[in-house]
Amino acid sequence: MGEAVTAGGQARERTFSGAWPAFDVLYLLGMFVTATVRESGRDYPGPELTAFVIVSWLPLLLRRRHPRAVLAVVAVVEVLHIAIGVSVPPDPTANVAMGAFQPVPLATMAAAFTLAVRVPGRRGWAPAVVSAVALLAVGVTVHGRVLLATSFVAFDLVLMAVGAGVLLSNRRERLARDEHDRLAQIRGEVIAERIRIAQDLHDVLAHHLTLVNAQAGVADYLLRTDPAAASDALQDIAGNTRQALDELRATVGMLRDSSDGDALRPTPGTDQLSELLDGFRSAGTAVSLLTTGEPVKLPAGQDLAVYRIIQEAVTNATKHAPGAPVDIGLHWQRRNLALIITNPVGHTPGFQGPGTRHGLIGMRERAVTAGGSLSAGPTPSGGFDVRAAIPLHTPQEPPA
């Protein structure tokens, strides 16, 4: 996305740069036309006026690279033009008086506009305003009241060019800021999606690898005492690995645009809890499920959150307190589903330590993303429980 925007900007810059020479030539012609139309008829510029026109125009060719320096140069040239290049008859007509400065202040206008566009803030418009004041001051000082209106017209024209430059600069800044915000939002959404997929991968792999590890231990023990039961345990290992691959393929499938979406494993939810808990039971974990209240159909986000929280909580119990029972309570209430997973006995002989707490962080994030909350910690009896409250509606949807 960023590369496309950059390429587009470079293409526009090449287009504009190709158009600038033609614009500069037309601007020079406009200055000569303005210098010619000094009365109601035509007064072709003489050598002195032609020299002033060309000398004030030439620096404009560099105004995009050195806007401040060019503004200073053209302002000085036009100040000299007003001071020594303008002669007014003792009794000038209104037309002659109004056109006496022409083509001043066209060069200063172009330089002031460019500086205001390319340099945002006071550093852009302040030098341009100073140049306008200089033209006004010299005009009033040298020509007094005779060309007072003309001096103010030149001053106003430069200010208008500065104002137009400031407006264009502000618009460019706003567009750039909007583009930056849009790209930042896209990056944030991509990061959030990666985190969600990482959570899914963690939950899927941690759950199934924990079961496979437990079942492998059971199968190793039964091989010496009950080969038939060991065969069943090995079949459970094959089933869990196959299920892990299916869920892994479904999760990774979300990273690409696949037309084979129907072949992927559907997103798990509360309707698959029985299959989930049977897998734990086959690995030797005594899991009980108590449901109270009237179950309702959960939105997809909340349904997946409940499934993953139970999966991670029981996986943690199986990993850190093998052999200890796990009690699960689903309490359907009017607005929320209260979820309680309790490991009554925490420190069994096979206790393997507290772990990295990544699973607890992931469960809490899932609950918050679903619009709910989660707390976890040890119980007074030495066990461990996880308590979550999941709303029965999406965060944007009012409850029924």
Contact 376, 363 (CB under 8 A): yes
- Cα distance between residue 346 and residue 325, in whole Å: 9
pLDDT of residue 88: 65
pLDDT of residue 357: 60
Beta strands 287-292 and 326-332, pairing class: parallel
Tokens of 247: 């869920």
Of the given ranges (94-98, 218-222, 304-308), which has the lowest mean pLDDT?
A: 94-98
Tokens of 386: 């996880």
Contact 391, 335 (CB under 8 A): yes
pLDDT of residue 387: 93
Percent of the chain with pLDDT over 90: 10
How far, in Å, are 1, 11, 189, 227, 271 from residue 6 at the CA level?
A: 9, 9, 21, 66, 48
Of the given ranges (100-114, 201-215, 268-282, 368-382), which has the lowest mean pLDDT?
A: 201-215
Helix ranges, the chain (H) = 2-36, 47-57, 67-84, 94-98, 106-118, 122-143, 148-225, 227-253, 273-282, 300-320, 358-369
pLDDT of residue 185: 84
At 276-302, the pLDDT tens digits run 888 888 777 889 999 999 888 888 888
Give which of 338, 358, 233, 245 is closest to 292, Cα–Cα. Answer: 338
pTM of the model: 0.49
pLDDT of residue 199: 72
Beta strands 336-343 and 373-378, pairing class: unpaired
Q: What is the mean pLDDT of the chain?
A: 77
- Cα distance between residue 332 and residue 390, in whole Å: 10
Beta-carbon-side half-sphere exposure of residue 363 (alpha carbons within 13 Å): 27
Of the given ranges (125-139, 153-167, 179-193, 223-237), which has the lowest mean pLDDT?
A: 223-237
DSSP state letter for 190: H
Residue 2: pLDDT band with limits 50, 70, 90: very low
Backbone angles phi, psi at 286, to 5 degrees: -80, 105
At 324-379, the pLDDT tens digits run 889 999 999 988 899 888 887 654 444 444 555 667 888 888 888 888 999 998 88
- Cα distance between residue 159 and residue 153, in whole Å: 10
pLDDT of residue 82: 86
Residue 254: pLDDT band with limits 50, 70, 90: low
pLDDT of residue 160: 93
How far, in Å, are 42, 107, 119 from residue 268 at the CA level?
A: 86, 71, 56
Is the pLDDT at 257 greater than 80, yes or no?
no
**pLDDT: which is higher, 324 or 213:** 324
Mean pLDDT of 188-217: 71
Amino acid (1-letter code) at residue 327: D
Is the domain defined by 270-400 classed in CATH 3.30.565.10? yes
Give which of 131, 136, 156 is closest to 68, Cα–Cα. Answer: 131
| Domain assignments of the chain as residue spans, ordered by start | 2-184, 270-400
